[in-house]
Amino acid sequence: MTGDLINKTACEIVDLLKTGDVTPTDLLDALKKRIAEVDPAVNALPTLCFDRARDRASVAETALPRERGPLAGMPVPIKDLTEVAGVLSTMGSPIFKDTIPDTSDILVEHLEANGAIIYAKSNTPEFGAGANTFNEVFGATLNPWNTSRSAAGSSGGAAASLATGTAWLAHGSDMGGSLRNPASFCGVCGMRPSPGRVASSKGSKIDGNLGQEGPMARNVEDLALLFDAMVGEVPGDPVALPRDGTSYLGASRSGWKPTKIAVSRDLGITPVDPEVADIVEAAARKFEQAGIIVERAHPDLAEAHECFHSLRALSFATGMKPLLDAHRDLLKPEVIWNIEQGLELSVNDIIRAEQQRADMYHRTLAFFETYDLLLCPATIVPPFPVENRYVEECNGHKFDNYVEWLAIVYAITNVCCPAISIPAGFTRENLPVGIQMVAAPRADAQLLAGAKLLEDMLDMVIKTPIEPRAGS
């Protein structure tokens, strides 16, 4: 029975929970067995909390299935940047390697109220910095398609758990592509929602919107199922949006079709590996089979690099200066660099970055008056060797820092658009490539409908979950 459950979709699992054909405890048993079988090869879920999960499952099972919330007792892992009460929460940092919080993040409380059962924490880079999931506490998460390669990040543990069948759904977060990059590298789906859709606990900058919490899953419908359980306002998050009655799972199944879409190989701002660009453009052209107009185009995002680097550095300085002062010797060099970059910003630098962001935002709004969706690569390279801390070069272009290779995703972060990465194809080395689909701000339902349409047209031959594949 375990194998049968692991291979089912999340939507199928929730249906079984609601009919009483399986219990939350059955699912936890299946996951524990699967984790023992495959997680040692990838290191996706380094912290397990099955005792806590079984206690929650026992309570859930005293209620009728329809009374357990929309997830009905579905197990969900939480990224190790987000606190879960009574569970080791390290942020991937030696500073917090022994930290067990007394309270959970708002996001976790919201998910649990909607029927999620937390059973694990997924691996992440230190403080989510850098799109390669490794840290000094738990080590590296490896790519299930080739364990010599990176799973990307910073939601790399979440993505690898989905790809290997140690999760049906997973939580992640995204500032510079941290939901989209690992989804691309691991052959699953990851969505950065419109700012405010998902409430979370706020730290030092309560109105910030560069970072967003979001859902990950093996397919678009499953992702929409989790998204439905994540959305909604909570008083502890002053910028969270109220539910508006939209069923995002319903939107993914609506059959909506765009009239005209744009495809870009590089958004005009970054080098892209030609094989990746070819795979993505071929996938985007599938829309033509449905009578949809496909044109090469993208909004003007020329200021993306300077704008994002300044605002990201500001967020690091705002949130982490006390850690630099007290624990400099325990921080990885990339984090130190980012904090110091933020501390060196002048008021004029910040004003310039905010104005650049506003200008790009308004140009993007105008772009979506012509196009329903924008498609482009989710990452500019296939999965790279895990020992490389980041991508230093692409197509002869050497990047100035460890963040610049992420421009194709952080440009979208700048302009507050919802974006999703879904599998688009495979390289000659049989490594996954994701296509990033972007919609206008607040058009999350339209985005999910378009993603489901393309997913159906692509009909990927190789499905997840897979057994980890050793590589060299």
**184 flagged as catalytic:** no
Give the helix, strand, coil percentages of the chain, each rounded to 5: 40, 15, 40
Helix H, strand E, coil C: the string for 64-125 is CHHHCCCCCCEEEEEECCCCCCCCCCCCCCHHHCCCCCCCCCHHHHHHHHCCEEEEEEECCC
**Tens digit of each residue's pLDDT, the chain (472 residues):** 567 999 999 999 999 999 999 999 999 999 999 999 999 999 999 999 999 999 999 999 999 988 999 999 999 999 999 999 999 999 999 999 999 999 999 999 999 999 999 999 999 999 999 999 999 999 999 999 999 999 999 999 999 999 999 999 999 999 999 999 999 999 999 999 999 999 999 887 888 899 999 999 999 999 999 999 999 998 889 999 999 999 999 999 999 999 999 999 999 999 999 999 999 999 999 999 999 999 999 999 999 999 999 999 999 999 999 999 999 999 999 999 999 999 999 999 999 999 999 999 999 999 999 999 999 999 999 999 999 999 999 999 999 999 999 999 999 999 999 999 999 999 999 999 999 999 999 999 999 999 999 999 998 656 899 999 998 6
Other CB atoms within a 10 A radius of the CB of residue 323 amount to 20
What is the H or E stretch that residue 242 is in?
A: none
**Measured between alpha carbons, how far is 195 from 59 in angstroms, rounded to an integer?**
33
DSSP, collapsed to helix, strand or coil, labels residue 246 as coil
Say which residues have a Cβ less than 8 Å from residue 418's Cβ, sequence separation at least 6.
191, 192, 193, 194, 197, 438, 439, 441, 442, 443, 444, 447
Question: Is the whole-model pTM more than 0.95?
Answer: yes
Backbone angles phi, psi at 93, to 5 degrees: -120, 135
Residue 79 annotated as catalytic:
yes
- Identify the CATH number of the domain defined by range 2-458: 3.90.1300.10
With tokens 């949809």, the residue in question is 292
Q: Is 115 left (phi over 0), alpha (psi -120 to 50) or beta?
A: left
User: Among the options 154, 161, 201, 315, which is catalytic?
Assistant: 154
The token duo for 263 is 């495809």
CA 148 to chain CA centroid, nearest Å: 22
Partners of 78 in the β-ladder = 121
Q: Which one of the listed residues 178, 201, 252, 310 is annotated catalytic?
A: 178
- Residue 143's closest CA among 135, 133, 151, 134? 151
Each domain of the chain, given as residue ranges in start order, spans: 2-458
Q: Give the contacts of 382 (CB within 8 A, at least 6 positions apart).
A: 185, 273, 275, 276, 427, 429, 431, 432, 433
Closest C-alpha to 151, from 190, 191, 192, 182: 182
Copy the structure tokens of residue 235: 């008083």
CA distances to 250, 263, 349, 453 from 255, in Å:
10, 21, 45, 7
